[in-house]
Amino acid sequence: MKAIVIHEPGGPEVMRWEDRALPAIDPGEVLVRHTAIGVNFIDVYQRLGRYPVASYPSSIGSEGVGVVEAVGAGVTTLKRGQRVGYAMRAPGAYAEHRVVPAAMTVPLPDDVPDEVAAILMLKGMTAEYLLHRSYAVQAGDTVLVHAAAGGTGLLLCEWAHALGARVIGTTSTSAKAALARRHGADEVILYTEEDFAVRVKALTGGRGAQVVYDGVGKATFMKSLDALTTLGHVVCFGASSGAVEPFDLGKLSAGSLTVSRPVLFHYTADRGRLEQMAARTFAAYRDGKIRPEVSRRFALKDAAKAHRLLESRQSTGAMVLIP
């Protein structure tokens, strides 16, 4: 099979298109032939070595969709020819085939196309747990979503809007702001030009937001605390601008504020919860609460092009690689 392989951490140029042996299937595993692969910022962290891979050479990538081609001993829940998707911390989705533990896969309903599933498995289930589990958004809440025009950001705006929240997004450009508005943001702040905390306070009569979804990290985190109302919560779920620096815990006493730093893979590690999360995410798609769309499609061998776009802040929405 062919796969994107890295022999060392580094820029997009370390991603090579190479031949690799088809992996052996251990008990409890299935061989998946990928049909669509989601592009995520976590893949950039893997490539850079910020999320270290076990050894080199390694593949990267965490969100895949495809067809089961072979089933390992002991697997009773899946059969050959079945469509499945998965999101896994272990790198390896940027490949024509992948061996995956059956317990990590989700059977795909007929009404969920492969490319849509390649958005829902990682970005969609992330939006599910962020909006329902890290902080349970209520109708009437003010919700601040950073990088609102990004892959995860658009889904958060749509779904929070469907839950009855007032959604304020932040983006770096007015074109991205217009996109976020089309996907559920009631207001958008250009956070590269304006102090977003001051603006959120102004938009909420001085009170602030109940929750901030902050996947940007270093550049936004401290101000995200300033944008909260009393008892407000920052969900710091990513670091596209760099890791959040250590901060004075006393800062939280300004409003009995709370902070969490969740990771999708801890939520999906429990099979029962994974099934609930997938079911609610598929239902949100079916009901039109979220409208996952592919913004850019690349051949898998051209994955470096997608990474360049993502890191240069020029991408919007969800990008997909096609093997």
Ligand X SMILES: NC(=O)c1ccc[n+]([C@@H]2O[C@H](COP(=O)([O-])OP(=O)(O)OC[C@H]3O[C@@H](n4cnc5c(N)ncnc54)[C@H](OP(=O)(O)O)[C@@H]3O)[C@@H](O)[C@H]2O)c1
Tell me if 156 sits within 8 A of 132, measured CB to CB: no
- 153 lines the binding site for ligand X (CB under 6 A): yes
What b/e sequence results for 5-21 when a residue is b if at least 16 CB atoms lie within 10 Å of its CB, and e otherwise? bbeeeeebebbeebeee
Per CB under 6 A, 216 contacts ligand X: yes
Q: d(Cα 209, Cα 243) in Å, to the nearest integer? A: 23
CA dist 193 and 196 (Å) reads: 9
Token pair for 228: 């909260």
Residue 258 is a binding residue for ligand X (CB under 6 A): no
Which one among 64, 85, 124, 215 touches ligand X, defined by CB under 6 A?
Answer: 215
Site stretch for ligand X (CB under 6 A), options 50-58, 89-97, 150-158, 248-256: 150-158
Residue with tokens 């902070």: 259
The answer to the question of residue 149 lying near ligand X (CB under 6 A) is yes
Residues 57-76 contacting ligand X, CB under 6 A: none
Q: What are phi and psi of 67, to 5 degrees?
A: -120, 135
Give kind and range of the element (H or E) at residue 157.
Answer: helix 151-162
Give me the 238-257 binding string for ligand X, x by CB under 6 A, dash otherwise: xxxx----------------
* Contacts with ligand X, 22-51, as mask; x by CB under 6 A: ------------------xxx---------
Please tell me the count of residues contacting ligand X according to CB under 6 A.
30
Rounded to the nearest whole angstrom, what is the least distance from the CB of residue 185 to ligand X in the complex?
Answer: 12
Among 47, 97, 98, 123, which residue sits at the site for ligand X (rule: CB under 6 A)? 123
Is there a contact between 4 and 17 (Cβ–Cβ < 8 Å)?
yes
**Residue 268, interface with ligand X (CB under 6 A)?**
no
**What DSSP character marks residue 73?**
T
Cβ–Cβ contacts within 10 Å for residue 251, how many? 13
Task: Tell me if residue 112 falls in helix, strand or coil.
Answer: coil
What string of DSSP letters covers 1-60?
-EEEEBSSS-SGGG-EEEE-PPPP--TTEEEEEEEEEE--HHHHHHHHTSS--SSSSB--
Contact status: 150 vs ligand X (CB under 6 A): yes
* Minimum CB–partner distance for residue 311 and ligand X (Å): 6
Q: In whole angstroms, how close is the CB of 40 to ligand X at the nearest point?
A: 4
The answer to whether 263 contacts ligand X (rule: CB under 6 A) is yes
Q: Give the per-residue contact string, 278-317, with ligand X (x = CB under 6 A; - = no).
A: --------------------------------xx-x-x--
Identity of the residue, 122 or 211, whose beta carbon is nearer to ligand X in the bound complex = 122
Residues in the site for ligand X, rule: CB under 6 A? Answer: 40-42, 122-123, 126, 147, 149-153, 171-172, 176, 215-216, 219, 237-241, 262-264, 310-311, 313, 315
